[in-house]
Amino acid sequence: MQATPALTVEHLTKRFGGRVAVDDVSFTVAAGEVFGFLGPNGAGKTTTVRMLGTLISPTSGSAIVAGLPLSPANGVAIRQQIAVMPEAPGLYLRLTVTENLEFFAGLYRIRDRARIPAALEAVGLQGRATDLCGNLSKGLRQRVALARALLNDPAVLFLDEPTSGLDPVASREVHGLIDGLRERGVTVFLTTHRLEEAERLCDRVAILNTTLRTIGRTDDLRDRLFRKRLLVETRAPLTDPGSVFDGSPGVTGWEANGSGVYEIVVTDAKLAAPDVARALVAAGADVLSLAEQRHSLEDVYLELISEDVEATR
């Protein structure tokens, strides 16, 4: 990744009348990064994308988008450098796929019309170029919208809920396309509330709920929020589990969680696991499994969002 960030956001705030949609949000996105922007409905994800896409003005705060300060004077220059794929594909249904792309190529003043078939090829739609968009399935329309977003070779590509309303097969296709963008070095700003999608695709994620709740790599977020644990399952309950676990290096605590199931709190799972295994074997236990307990991004998300829900009660 390069040193210059593709996006720098500082204290960005947006109010609609008395309602605060986005409050004091700051983050950076490195060039070539796939950055996930997560949050529940109404968290301010789309508002943030619209501000960074120069569609709406921030109430306060600042941002640098593709090297340009976010300001009305830079609106055209910023929009020339970015592409935004909104939640709805927004295609002209009475026009063909190629006609839709020709229109947008004209708006970006792209003279090299070979980019249109190239963009269609990138999303696997070269065979549907002459189809009317109104005759395409939702998944195919989403692909056309992605081809449209690739036309101007954007420095930053904003994808707002790109798999919203798609079936699992179409969603997987879009995921494949985003993977392709990562390989091409495109900076992707992906808003979603599908956590498995963010976990699978993003280098880093930010969780937003009007304010920025956390930001980082998913592994780091897990480590930050949850203690590391090993899960041990034995054929029969241990007669004296304390004598087995308490003496093992790296173990800071444990608890029995059902018959023959133990959750062991450790400082480092990879270092502690061999010692725990040796202690179990020495105690004559029949070990069925020993594994690190994995917290998903969903656990992280729910932990943070439930804190907000608790706070508002």
Partner 1 sequence: MSGERIRAVVQKELRDFRRNRFLVGTMAVLPLVFLVSPMITLLQIPASTPVSVIHHAVGGSSLLLFVVPAVIPPIMAAYSVIGERDQGTLEPFLTTPIEREELLLAKAIAVFLPSVTVAYGIYFAFALTIRFAAAHAVSAAVWHTPQIVAQLVFTPLIATWAVWVGIAMSVRARDVRVAQQLATLASLPAIGITALITFRVVTPSVRLAVALAVVLLVIDIRAWRFVSKLFDRERLITGSRAKPS
User: Does residue 188 bind partner 1 (CB under 8 A)?
Assistant: no
Three-state DSSP class for residue 151: coil
Nearer to partner 1, 43 or 205 (CB): 43
Minimum CB separation of residue 90 from partner 1 in Å reads 4
Is 99 a binder of partner 1 (CB under 8 A)? yes
Q: Does 80 bind partner 1 (CB under 8 A)?
A: yes
How far apart (Å, rounded) are the C-alpha atoms in residues 107 and 103? 6
Part of the chain binding partner 1 (CB under 8 A), chosen from 54-62, 206-214, 257-265, 281-289: 54-62
Query: Which amino acid belongs to residue 148?
Result: R
Q: Confirm or reject binding of residue 53 to partner 1 (CB under 8 A).
A: yes
Confirm or reject binding of residue 11 to partner 1 (CB under 8 A): no
Residue with token string 């004559």: 284
- Residue 122 contacts by C-beta under 8 Å, 6 or more apart in sequence? 147, 150, 177, 180
> How many Å apart are CA 100 and CA 67, to the nearest integer?
29
How far is it, in rounded angstroms, from Cα 94 to Cα 138? 15
102 binds partner 1 (CB under 8 A): yes
Q: Residue from 36, 86, 250, 260 that binds partner 1 (CB under 8 A)?
A: 86
Helices (H), 94-245: 97-107, 115-122, 138-150, 168-183, 195-201, 218-225, 241-245
Closer of 85 and 232 to partner 1 (Cβ): 85
Shortest distance (Å) from residue 237 CB to partner 1 = 60
Q: Which residue, 57 or 243, is less far from partner 1 as judged by CB?
A: 57
Site mask for partner 1 (CB under 8 A), range 103-142, x = bound: xxxxxxx---------------------------------
Q: Which position among 82, 120, 207, 304 is part of the footprint of partner 1 (CB under 8 A)?
A: 82
| Smallest separation, CB 59 to partner 1 (Å) | 5
DSSP line for 29-92:
EETT-EEEEE--TTSSHHHHHHHHTTSS--SEEEEEETTEE-SGGGHHHHHHHEEEE-SS----
Minimum distance from CB of 194 to partner 1 (Å)?
21
Q: Distance (Å, rounded) from C-alpha 188 to C-alpha 1? A: 13
Minimum distance between the CB of residue 203 and partner 1, rounded to whole angstroms?
Answer: 24
Closest CB to partner 1 among 56 and 231? 56
Q: How far apart are CA 88 and CA 130, in angstroms?
A: 21
Should residue 162 be labelled a site residue for partner 1 when binding is judged by CB under 8 A? Answer: no
> Which residue of 56, 118, 265, 305 would you call a contact of partner 1, by CB under 8 A?
56
* Nearest by Cα to 210 from 23, 13, 85: 23
Contact 210, 23 (CB under 8 A): yes
- Which positions lie near partner 1, rule CB under 8 A? 15-17, 50, 53-60, 72, 76-77, 79-80, 82-86, 88-95, 99, 102-109, 145, 148
